[in-house]
Structure 1
Amino acid sequence: MMEKNILAYFKSPEEAEGAAQKLYALRAIDVSIDRISRYPGDGTNASGNPATGDFGSLASLSLGADVTGDSPGILLSAGTDASGMSDGGQGGPTGRDVLLTAVVDEGVHRQAMSVIEQAGGQL
């Protein structure tokens, strides 16, 4: 049988976990849940001193972006969320920063999509 892929976005890992359990009941071949972001890396662990200029960029201070050069830092700092003027929060404008990726059999594809939508996911 053929396999189908599904990408769905959730507001919380708990919502995605609930959908994943139902997908496993449908005999999903593979299910993965990850937190996504438009910013690279897992965030910076080192704190710089803004008063001395010892920091990479505004994006690394306010967003925890892990940038390695000046150009990416400048580009990321130009976004409204770096300044705190965005209403999107961590998940961006939709608030959906949890990605569920699933591989299911073609025969249950429509049913799997329905399960995801009922669990609060956005396809």
Structure 2
Amino acid sequence: MSERTVFAYFQTPDQAKEAVKQLRSLRLIDHAIERFDGYAGEGIQSLDTLGGTITGDFKGLGYLTLGGDFDSPDAGILAASSVSASGYSSGGPENRETGYDIMLVAIVEEEDFEQADRIVRELGAL
């Protein structure tokens, strides 16, 4: 049997997880959920590690606010000039990011592709 790949972009990880839950009713072969953005690295992933900001023990604003891990100080400085890093950009409820930065990749049997596509779209995917 042949396989098809569904690429779906969501606003929250919970939406993607719900999609996977519903896709399991089909012949789901494999899946992955990833967060992506325009900056390299993971940066700070936990509020527990923000204590270094008091002592100045962090790589820069882009590391803190964008989750970037930059190869050179110049790249970090350029990323920190982004309105997303400074906090002067907002949108949506509670000033949260409103973009579709969660990607679900699901591999299904070809016969289930249209139904899988319908499921992710009904859950808000692009």
Task: Output the CA distance in 2 between the equivalents of 1:72 and 1:17.
Answer: 33
Task: Output the CA distance in 2 between the equivalents of 1:39 and 1:121.
Answer: 22
Task: Output the CA distance in 1 between the equivalents of 2:58 and 2:15.
Answer: 36
Give SS of 1:71's match.
helix
Partner of 1:101: 105
How many residues were matched structurally?
118
Once the two structures are superposed, the pairs formed by residues 1-123 of structure 1 within 5 Å of their partners are 1-44=1-44, 45=49, 47=52, 55-88=58-91, 91=97, 94-122=98-126
Q: 1:90 to 1:64 in 2, by over 3 A?
A: farther
- Return the TM-score normalized by structure 1: 0.77
- Return the TM-score normalized by structure 2: 0.75
State the identity %.
36
Offset at residue 100 of structure 1 (A): 0.9
Offset at residue 55 of structure 1 (A): 4.9
Offset at residue 49 of structure 1 (A): 6.0
Offset at residue 90 of structure 1 (A): 5.9
Cα contact 1:59–1:77 (8 A) shared by 2:
yes
Extract unaligned runs of 5+ from structure 1: none
CA RMSD of aligned residues (A): 2.5
Give SS of 1:25's match.
coil
Task: Output the CA distance in 2 between the equivalents of 1:48 and 1:67.
Answer: 18
Give SS of 2:20's match.
helix
